[in-house]
Structure 1
Amino acid sequence: MANPFVNSHVITQIGILVHDIEKTSQAYADFFGIDKPQWFWTDTADKAQTEYRGSGSEARAKLAFFNMGSLQLELIEPDREPSTWREHLDEHGEGVHHIAFNVKGMKDTVAGMEQGGMPLLQKGEYTGGRYAYMDTSDSLKVILELLEND
């Protein structure tokens, strides 16, 4: 059966919110016996064009990525600016924030999901693509992130 919203059924990423990216990324590196990845800041608002709940946001986050075969583990330490990351961390504490899928046709996918009752929470650009967080918490119990690479 085809998925009416995303054109993939392969989860490519799990995003986890943390208070201390250095400490948590070291813990993951030690657990898996691998090198700790270097974290970096997301782009500034002028490049990222971040929108949160329909309004522009200066939100940024520190990110660290662990490539674990076909799945990527993303650690996210948000700044204090309004974002889905900050909201979720403040309301629920550290832990899983989203699962992500690669999509083709971001605008159409977002529009279809919104028509299906899954509103857009946050979107932005990154070097080589764009992302959108969709509020699927009520039905799927986790936020979905859509990733579209150029």
Structure 2
Amino acid sequence: MDKNLLGNHVITQIGLVVRDIEQTSRAYADFFGIDKPDWFWTDAPEVAKTEYEGAPSAARAKLAFFDMGSLQLELIEPDEHQSTWREALEQNGEGFHHIAFVIEGMQQKIDLLAGNGHKLLQKGEYTGGRYAYIDTSAQLKLLVELLENDR
């Protein structure tokens, strides 16, 4: 196995899937004594160009972000379409979904990870960049999200 596959070892984000983003956002805000962030929908399919398991997907999700110092907490409430978010919620219930890293060279990283046995599950675009969820569960026991922001 290659080493330093991402070129970065700083965890940027922890993602959780939830059934009710409003209720869960309020609970986190109250727990930490901070303002509740507004949630928003991921971009529409024609902008997001989401692919799930290699096929186009109309999947969207409500997102809320808490900036927690050096780490961001992301809450994800998926819609009814099949996605890694929906699959995680149905199979495991609410809770942990992924850890994320900011990278450069998205396709190269996806190819490098695939060559090391880590399958691409879902990818898409967002205003200002792109993301990819990689299944590293066989070795790392979790999903890794790659985030590449436009310059």
Shorter chain as denominator, the TM-score bin is over 0.9
Q: What's the CA shift for 1:4?
A: 3.1
Q: What is aligned with 1:81?
A: 81
Paired AA for residue 125 in structure 2 = E
Residues 119-149 of structure 1 deviation map (CA, whole Å, 9 limit, x = unaligned): 0000000000000000011211110000000
Q: What is aligned with 1:72?
A: 72
Paired AA for residue 21 in structure 2 = I
Mean Cα deviation higher: 135-144 or 114-123 = 135-144
Q: What is aligned with 2:104?
A: 104
Residues 79-104 of structure 1 deviation map (CA, whole Å, 9 limit, x = unaligned): 01010000011000011100000001
Q: What is aligned with 1:91?
A: 91
For residues 108 and 78 of structure 2, the distance between their equivalents in structure 1, rounded to whole angstroms, comes to 28
SS at match of 2:89: helix
SS at match of 1:123: strand
Q: Which runs of 4+ in 1 moved over 2 A?
A: none
Q: Which ranges in structure 1 are unaligned for 5 or more consecutive residues?
A: none
For residues 43 and 53 of structure 2, the distance between their equivalents in structure 1, rounded to whole angstroms, comes to 19
RMSD: 0.9
Q: What is aligned with 2:45?
A: 45
Q: What's the CA shift for 1:3?
A: 4.0
Count of aligned pairs: 149
SS at match of 2:63: strand
For residues 45 and 118 of structure 2, the distance between their equivalents in structure 1, rounded to whole angstroms, comes to 25
Q: What is the TM-score normalised by the length of structure 1? A: 0.97
* Percent sequence identity over aligned pairs: 65
Matched, 1:28 2:23: no
Q: What is aligned with 1:148?
A: 148
Q: What is aligned with 2:127?
A: 127
